[in-house]
Amino acid sequence: MEFDNLPQSVWQRLKTADKPIVMYGMGDGAEKIMAVFEQLGIKPAEFMASDEFVRGHSFLGYQVKKLSEIEEKYRDFIIVVCFGSSLPDVMNRLYDLAERYELYAPDVPVIGEGLFDSGYVIANEKKLGRVRKLLADEKSREVFDSIVNYKISGDIKYLRDCETPEEEAFSLLDIRSDETYVDLGAYSGDTVEKFLRLTGKKFNEIYAVEPDFKNFGKLVRRNYALGRGIFHPINAAAWSENTELEFRRSGGRNSSVSTRYGRGEVVRVQGISADSMLGDKIPTLIKLDVEGCEREALEGARKALSQHKPRLILSAYHRTEDLTDLPLLVKEMNSGYKLYLRHHPYIPAWDTNFYCI
């Protein structure tokens, strides 16, 4: 990848736009994008939502309108997507809109500050180049280039061009019937169920860590029949050490260690390191999807990674720096890892994972 031949920044394009800017969607994503707009002096003309969500309400002082109402008012306009989805019908709707209008889905971090823009790429060119060279196959390099270009430009065509189904990535992992599986960020048990389908319910042990109490209850109820001797649910947050943490409890997938954005109640939860949890047990497969705490969760599994080299499914999209810092940390802990990068169908660049073998 040539870092001196980057696409135009989505923020620069929107700052100089001569067409009305219409924000599509509400919630945390819209608030984050509007915060960047305020810094750059960008003022949208309208907010719109999918027809089924429009009920005469307002958001951030804007009356929320239907697409048909926007089309009646403006001959042409720019659409800025402010939400995420992996649902095929929703993604197809966005791709269809992108054929008809100028459309962007700006990349803003799920957790933390700082934008992955052209300035960030230039400042971190060496680090980005190091990670790209470490990638184990050509598909990983294609995904890396597309994700970088998407993050700068906000153009969703880059995401469609590089996406692959999850099943292809699972084939890299060569999941077997004797796994000791550690699920860090187990949510309500959906990824445990996915693991059980892949193994035909044949495994050694499962450790499932989930800090949100409501999610944890669902996790236990879904999987209690596995038996206490081999299924170990832990109501805690994966962390670098055993300690107490502030946690934003949303009851959904985005519950996380307390941050500036979000709508959940802030409570105290127990943080736990994977190494202390496992004791002398040897993990063979670890999934880390812990809403921006992947670095801390990796540090908490340093002994396991350095001594036993379990295969990893590592989320790389919560923080701006995740695409570079997380794979370099894995290689620092154990240089024997091969790094694969895949993006599964999602707008924006969520479900972008490193598969470390």
Tokens for 76?
Answer: 């042409």
Using left for φ > 0, alpha for ψ between -120 and 50, and beta otherwise, residue 279 falls in left
Specify the pLDDT at position 263. Answer: 52
Amino acid code (one letter) for 219: L
Specify the pLDDT at position 265. Answer: 75
How many CB atoms are closer than 10 A to CB 197?
9
Specify the pLDDT at position 5. Answer: 83
Q: Residue 26 in contact with residue 157, Cβ under 8 Å?
A: no
Specify the pLDDT at position 316. Answer: 98
Nearest-Å Rg of the Cα atoms of the chain is 21
* DSSP state at residue 163: B
Specify the pLDDT at position 249. Answer: 67
How many CB atoms are closer than 10 A to CB 90?
14
- Domains of the chain, earliest start first: 10-106 (3.40.50.20), 166-356 (3.40.50.150)
Q: How far apart are CA 264 and CA 211, in angstroms?
A: 13
pLDDT in tens, 297-339: 999 999 999 999 999 999 999 999 999 999 999 999 999 999 9
Specify the pLDDT at position 250. Answer: 56
Q: How far apart are CA 319 and CA 151, in angstroms?
A: 12
Specify the pLDDT at position 260. Answer: 44
Pick out the chain residues at pLDDT < 50.
252-253, 255, 258-262
pLDDT in tens, 98-141: 999 999 999 999 999 999 999 999 999 999 999 999 999 999 99
pTM, 2 dp: 0.93
Exposure of 108 in the CB half-sphere (CA atoms within 13 A)? 21
**Cα 82 to Cα 38, 176, 178, 261, 294, distances in angstroms:** 15, 39, 42, 14, 24
Specify the pLDDT at position 261. Answer: 41
